[in-house]
């Protein structure tokens, strides 16, 4: 007989939300796995003693985690999503008839709490992973990736006072109609300070920009939006974003220029647990940020009772200063050097004991001095041989320079470079390279594509740092639950096998005893 379901809304006489959530549900497991009650004393000072009660800090963090676990970067969409999911309501401690907080409350609370609080929650989750044996600490893979800022290239403005605009443009490039008009998308408010609006580039840097922009003269009337041809000539030296002054113009190979933040990430190679994450300005270089990452990460791992031995990263982190710094910290670096590195001129042999070079003709080129390179700001060693020594040499015409002397410079950290290169080219170094590619790069892909870090939905580098920590916390919690679930299943299987083995042994022993009795009677 055909059935027909008639629906009539009614009040529930008895309803328990916990009974509707399956035992193997992710959020049920997550609720039992983490305890965030330590947030109450930590956040107490950020609330007043009177007035209307604000959102529970534990509820706030759980809602934020749900946003990244569900890949939702909009607070408004997050609240709408949570109201439709029974398992999420159970996780955050709300019943089906309770009204969820306003989406604006989440934004205000995120701004209220400091960065240190988000980092403390991150460290607490990392401790859970360490306790379960998910983090070895021995080898850490470091990498970076740009993350889209909450600002548009179309709102960029020039870094000059309004009264000096025309004079500045004459020095940098020809005045275009674009410069005289307001931006294509005018910002609602200018959040920058005087330092962020002012020119920080030197005259030499501005002249270089002017030279590049001569090629752009015919196309100058286009807006500097990310998809426009002229955007590639827009520089952080001459432009800033009034919407988010901390955002910087940067570009990935094959991609259009955008306003981004730079996410620096460290991952433990044992079970791909994130051990450190931080937001930096996107115009910074990886090799300049490595010492800050290492100091922070080494301290965190030490507090967890872990010893860090190997630092694995790509060529972007390469520099002699970094190699020396890592050795001073007791770390082995596996960082491929830049292709421009040379231990000295081609055909020259370095004699380490006396610190000089031998040219192809066997002549000595001695060490002269240590100096700071004006362009790269790195320490170098100068070697120079006078023309008298080179007298009668068949290679004199091609070897000596305009000053009639053979002179060249080599990095001050040549020995550190050579030791690192030896490690990188070893069997262990090749293994570390594959380990880095299979560890930190997939984690970055997960964060940006699945864990809500494809775009920063806040303003300012401090807020961006909070977003990155929340995304990393969500990633680590997901791995943590998967790990303990797999281990519990494995443990249950071992227990069942142990019971079976015990039963088999008992049966064999009983059979042996019966056999002995029969033999004795016979």
Q: What is the DSSP string of 148-195?
A: E-SS-GGG-EESS-GGGHHHHHHHHS---HHHHSPPSS--S-----HH
Quote the crossing angle between the two packed helices 320-328 and 286-303, to the nearest 10°: 10
With a cut of 50, say whether residue 500 has pLDDT above it: no
Going by pLDDT thresholds of 50, 70 and 90, the confidence category of residue 134 is very high
Q: Could you tell me the pLDDT band of residue 351, with boundaries at 50, 70 and 90?
A: confident
Min mean pLDDT across 92-96, 293-297, 327-331, 336-340 is at 336-340
**Lowest mean pLDDT segment, chosen from 35-49, 93-107, 192-206, 391-405:** 391-405
Contacts 24+ apart (CB under 8 A), 372-379: 373/409, 378/319, 378/320, 378/321, 378/411, 378/412, 379/320, 379/321, 379/411, 379/412, 379/413
In percent, how much of the chain has pLDDT > 70? 74
d(C-alpha 222, C-alpha 154), whole Å? 10
| Higher per-residue pLDDT: 247 or 345 | 247
Count CB atoms within 10 A of the CB of residue 37. 9
Among 154, 287, 172, which Cα is nearest to 238's?
Answer: 172
Of 430 and 50, the one with more pLDDT? 430
For 64, phi and psi rounded to 5 degrees? Answer: -60, -45
Using CA atoms, how far residue 88 sits from 21, 58, 84, in Å, is 10, 14, 9
CB crowding 46-82: b at 16 or more within 10 Å, else e: eeeeeeeebbbbbbbbbbbbbbbbbebbebeebbeeb
Structure tokens at 305: 């009772």
Query: How far is it, in rounded angstroms, from Cα 429 to Cα 414?
Result: 19
Q: For residues 259 and 152, is the Cβ–Cβ distance under 8 A?
A: yes
Q: How far apart are CA 509 and CA 320, in angstroms?
A: 70
pTM: predicted TM-score of the whole model, two decimal places: 0.80
CA gap 480, 132 in Å, rounded: 8
Kind of pairing, strands 332-334 and 310-312? parallel
The residue with tokens 């290492």 is 294
Q: Is the pLDDT of residue 60 over 70?
A: yes
- Cα distances (angstroms) measured from residue 430 to each of 266, 422, 423, 436, 444: 19, 11, 9, 10, 21
Rounded to the nearest 10 degrees, what angle do helices 57-69 and 75-82 cross at?
A: 100
User: Residue 158 in contact with residue 182, Cβ under 8 Å?
Assistant: no
Is 239 strand, coil or helix? strand
223, pLDDT greater than 70: no
- Find the DSSP H helices in 356-404: 396-399
| DSSP helix/strand/coil, 466 | helix
Q: Are 418 and 343 in contact (CB under 8 A)?
A: yes
Q: How confident is the model at residue 246 (pLDDT cuts 50, 70, 90)?
A: very high
Q: What is the CA 131 to chain-centroid distance, rounded?
A: 24
In the chain, the N- to C-terminal Cα span, in Å, equals 72
Query: What's phi and psi for 53, nearest 5 deg?
Result: -65, 135
The Cα–Cα gap between 78 and 201 comes to 42
Cβ neighbours for 105, distance < 8 A, ≥ 6 positions apart? 54, 55
Other CB atoms within 10 A of residue 351 CB: 10
Average pLDDT over the chain, rounded to whole?
A: 81
Question: Which residues partner with 277 through β-bridges?
Answer: 265
* CA gap 366, 381 in Å, rounded: 11
Q: What are phi and psi of 520, to 5 degrees?
A: -65, -40
Q: What kind and span of H or E run contains 218?
A: none
Q: Which of 1-10, 140-149, 257-266, 312-321 has the lowest mean pLDDT?
A: 1-10
Tokens encoding 481: 């639950």
> Using CA atoms in the order 281, 284, 286, 287, what is the torsion angle rounded to 10 degrees?
-140
Give the pLDDT band of residue 303 (cuts 50, 70, 90).
very high
Dihedral angle at the C-alpha atoms of 186, 190, 196, 198, nearest 10 degrees? 70
Q: Taking each helix axis from N to C terminus, what angle separates 103-112 and 461-521, rounded to the nearest 10 degrees?
A: 100
Lookup: tokens for 234: 């827009």
Does residue 491 have a pLDDT over 70? no
Q: Which of 45-59, 264-278, 422-436 has the lowest mean pLDDT?
A: 45-59
């Amino acid at each position: 007989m055909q059935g027909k379901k008639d629906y009539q809304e009614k009040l529930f006489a008895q309803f328990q939300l916990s009974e509707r959530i399956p035992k193997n549900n992710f959020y049920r497991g997550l609720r039992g796995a983490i305890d965030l009650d330590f947030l109450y004393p930590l956040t107490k000072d950020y609330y007043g003693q009177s007035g209307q009660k604000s959102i529970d800090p534990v509820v706030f963090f759980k809602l934020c985690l749900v946003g990244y676990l569900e890949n939702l970067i909009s607070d408004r969409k997050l609240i709408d999503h949570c109201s439709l999911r029974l398992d999420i309501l159970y996780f955050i401690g709300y019943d089906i008839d309770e009204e969820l907080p306003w989406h604006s409350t989440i934004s205000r609370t995120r701004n209220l709490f400091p960065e240190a609080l988000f980092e403390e929650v991150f460290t607490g989750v990392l401790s859970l992973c360490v306790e379960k044996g998910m983090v070895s600490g021995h080898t850490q893979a470091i990498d970076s990736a740009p993350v889209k800022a909450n600002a548009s290239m179309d709102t960029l403005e020039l870094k000059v006072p309004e009264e000096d605009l025309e004079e500045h443009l004459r020095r940098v490039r020809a005045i275009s109609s674009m410069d005289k008009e307001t931006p294509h998308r005018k910002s609602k408010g200018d959040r920058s300070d005087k330092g962020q609006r002012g020119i920080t580039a030197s005259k030499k840097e501005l002249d270089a920009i002017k030279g590049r922009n001569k090629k752009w003269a015919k196309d100058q009337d286009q807006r500097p939006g990310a998809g426009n041809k002229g955007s590639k000539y827009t520089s952080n030296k001459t432009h800033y974003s009034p919407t988010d002054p901390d955002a910087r113009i940067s570009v990935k190979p094959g991609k259009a220029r955008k306003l981004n933040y730079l996410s620096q990430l460290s991952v433990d190679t044992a079970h791909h647990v994130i051990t450190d994450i931080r937001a930096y300005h996107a115009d910074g270089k990886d090799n300049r940020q490595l010492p800050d990452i290492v100091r922070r990460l080494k301290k965190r791992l030490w507090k967890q009772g872990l010893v860090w031995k190997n630092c694995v990263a790509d060529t972007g982190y390469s520099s002699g200063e970094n190699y020396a710094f890592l050795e001073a910290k007791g770390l082995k670096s596996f960082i491929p050097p830049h292709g421009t590195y040379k231990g000295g001129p081609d055909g020259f042999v370095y004699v380490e004991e006396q610190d000089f070079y031998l040219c192809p003709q066997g002549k000595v080129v001695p060490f002269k001095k240590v100096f700071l390179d004006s362009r790269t700001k790195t320490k170098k060693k100068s070697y120079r041989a006078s023309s008298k020594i080179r007298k009668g040499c068949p290679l004199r015409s091609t070897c000596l320079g305009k000053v009639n002397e053979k002179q060249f410079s080599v990095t001050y950290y040549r020995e550190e470079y050579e030791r690192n290169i030896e490690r990188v080219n070893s069997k262990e170094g090749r293994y570390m390279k594959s380990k880095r590619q299979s560890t930190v790069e997939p984690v970055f892909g997960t964060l940006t594509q699945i864990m809500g870090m494809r775009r920063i939905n806040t303003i300012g580098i401090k807020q961006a740092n909070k977003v990155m920590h929340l995304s990393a916390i969500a990633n680590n919690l997901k791995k943590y639950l998967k790990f303990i679930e797999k281990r519990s299943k494995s443990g249950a299987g071992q227990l069942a096998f142990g019971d079976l083995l015990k039963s088999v042994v008992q049966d064999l022993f009983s059979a042996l005893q019966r056999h002995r009795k029969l033999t004795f009677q016979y």
